[in-house]
Amino acid sequence: QKTNTMPPRPSSRRVSISENESTFENGATWEMVRKQLTGDIDDGPQSIHVYSRTRPPSKKEIEANSPMVVEMDEKTGLISLHNGKGGSSTDFTLDKCFPGDCTQSHMYKEIGMDLVCSSVQGYNTCVFAYGQTSSGKSHSMVGTKSDPGLIPRVCNGLYHSFDMLVADDTVGRNVSSVVIEAVYYEIYNEKIMDLLDPSLGALKVREHKNFGVFVDKISKVYVKSVEQAVEVMDRGLLNRTVQATKMNSVSSRAHAIFELHITQKYTNGGAEMALKSKVCMVDLAGSERAGQQELKGARMTEGNNIN
């Protein structure tokens, strides 16, 4: 695996978090990290959490006066799906649910902060967005320049927490330095493609007896700041496979995986130690019905592989 130590080239799609939001989110995140590392709270990571987020009605749906068929209770996580014709509803209960007016900052507070805390403690973590095409997965994960999503906010929280951890030798394991490398790839028609270097072609999945499953020969980029991490994300987005379909003019046709490989260096009894972990943030391509989208040819093949 090759490592690129040069800063990535800037792209035309920059994502930035407002100063007020960044200050609030970083402060709240570090407070949670500090309390977990010092044992003030016992709220370790759980195996799996399942959340649901509903997008707000589209302009087309509003103009058609389409009925709202999803009802959510944020306090209990109860979701009721109505058939829109006055019939009975189907209920589900998840860990948490977020209605259409939920903000990106609130999503980070409820999901991203736990991800950051577990990652700082040295756990491998993963979050992925799944749902129908045009349901808002990429908006939740990546967001826009003015309204960034989970990936840039998690990067922001991670770098701030590690800066605080290195500066405060009374917390945790006396970490002296942290090295973070970024990896970005997509799975398109069952083939793994490096979004940071598409010229590598289809890559292979390997398994190491000590380090587990990995993508062979994929490029890694050393990112020393949140700005560089987001630039890597932007650069990969320019190479992501998207096409127009009947339901979405910029439909993602591949599953995209953004990874941060973290190495925390510290001393234990005079010996130099390293704690390695990985953050995996996945924006899945949307599930779809071929007939509803009128898929043909290449789009049909993509849809079958996506599903």
Task: Say what the pLDDT of residue 45 is.
Answer: 56
H-helix segments, 104-205: 104-107, 113-120, 137-141, 150-167
Compare 182 and 268 and report the one with higher pLDDT: 182
- Burial code (b: 16+ CB inside 10 Å, e: under 16) for 18-55 equals eeebbeebbeebbebbbebbeeeeeeeeeeeeebbbbb
Q: What is the pLDDT of residues 125-134, one digit of tens each?
A: 999 999 888 8
What is the DSSP secondary structure assignment for residue 132, as one 8-state letter?
B
Task: Say what the pLDDT of residue 109 is.
Answer: 94
Q: What is the pLDDT of residues 161-218, one digit of tens each?
A: 999 999 987 877 789 999 999 999 998 888 899 999 999 999 999 998 887 888 999 9
The structure tokens listed for 106 are: 């609130």
Task: Say what the pLDDT of residue 249 is.
Answer: 46
- Burial code (b: 16+ CB inside 10 Å, e: under 16) for 255-289 equals bbbbbbbbebebeeeeeeeeeebbbbbbbbbbebe
Which residue is listed with tokens 């090759």? Answer: 2
Instruction: Taking residues 66-87, report their average pLDDT.
Output: 86
Compare 168 and 20 and report the one with higher pLDDT: 168
The structure tokens listed for 132 are: 């129908």
Which residue is listed with tokens 């805390």? Answer: 117
What percent of the residues of the chain are helix, what percent strand, and what percent coil, each to the nearest 5?
A: 30, 30, 40
Task: Say what the pLDDT of residue 299 is.
Answer: 57
pTM of the shown model = 0.84
Task: Say what the pLDDT of residue 15 is.
Answer: 47
Q: Provide the CB-side half-sphere exposure for 185 (13 A, CA).
A: 24
Question: Of 127, 117, 128, whose CA–CA distance to 165 is shortest?
Answer: 117
What percentage of the chain carries pLDDT values higher than 90?
50
